Structure 1
Amino acid sequence: MVEQDVVAMASPLEVLKAYLRIESGDEDGLLAGLLRSAEGVCEAFVGQWLIERQARETVIAAREWTRLSARPVVAIEAVEGLDAAGGAVALSVESYAIDIDGAGDGWVRVIAPTDATHLRVSYRAGMAADMNGLPEAVRQGIVRLAADYHATRTGDDAAMPAVVTALWRPWRRMRLA
């Protein structure tokens, strides 16, 4: 077994302040908001949840595999049956199947007759447990975008910097409809 040294990483706010060469805490609230905005843009751009969190989704109970919306799926924790009125329907473990594929997509389907018209699936999805667990390029793109928001907060320039899209592009997942 190989032991690794764990290096404590600075918080995204500390990294952003260093990047912008801001030493005081006067703008911490503003900067934290800019970071949250940049994180949201990053999630939309890469098509994945960044930080692992709970999800609950209702899908039609079908024999065909149904893909869950959030990704990457870390764990599918529960599947409940619902009738047409939204009431609970008992499901045996043998009546449905779940899967998480190599790309992190979560899947669910019905494999035995049931009175359920819908399935309510509880699961966890996200790329990392916290910001420090994200790939460095993703973190750096978030900081760079937040810094750009800070620099252009009084202007009308709303274009995302090319360097940010270049940092995020390797993690971008798109679906063709």
Structure 2
Amino acid sequence: MPHIPLPEQLPGITGLLEYRLDTAQPIRELTQILLRGESTLSPGERELIAALVSSRNCTNFCEAAHTKAADLLLGDDETALAVKQDIETAPVSGKMKALLQIAALAQRSGKAVTAEAVARAREAGATDREIHDTVLITALFSLYNKYVDGMATVAPADPAYYQMLGERITSRGYVRPPGGYPVQTH
């Protein structure tokens, strides 16, 4: 049960973002820029970073949502699972393996990101902006994960919910729908 009253029909981060629209707006805008804005990393690759970080932070809602978004964007349901299990054997490029390792390091601690990890990414073809954005996506999802868990939001158990949420994320991105979300009546 959430620590504060939140809209029951909006579990996870969605209810929190509706609770404080003024703080939600800049967070949503940053998320939209990082995960859907101009980038040499595909939206699916960026969702993999979000799914990995959320998985390592043990935030069920965010892990399920971003795993499903990655699955839909990548066109399979195995890559995100493989990344979360073992980055080095996952079916992604050498560049993505290096960037995902940077995300894994940054998730533990910003100071855990080493010059060697950055050099590996550069050697694999990663640009400075890709390295930057990987660390920033990691930091942003660590914020989301702590927000969701720190407020004890609800994480639905039904996989159909995350299918719907993944479809919403991939089709609309991270912007709030005009007028907000429909109120559920019982």
Q: Give the shorter-chain TM-score range.
A: under 0.3
Q: Which structure: greater strand fraction?
A: 1
**Rg: which structure is higher?**
1
**How does the TM-score come out when normalised to structure 1?**
0.24
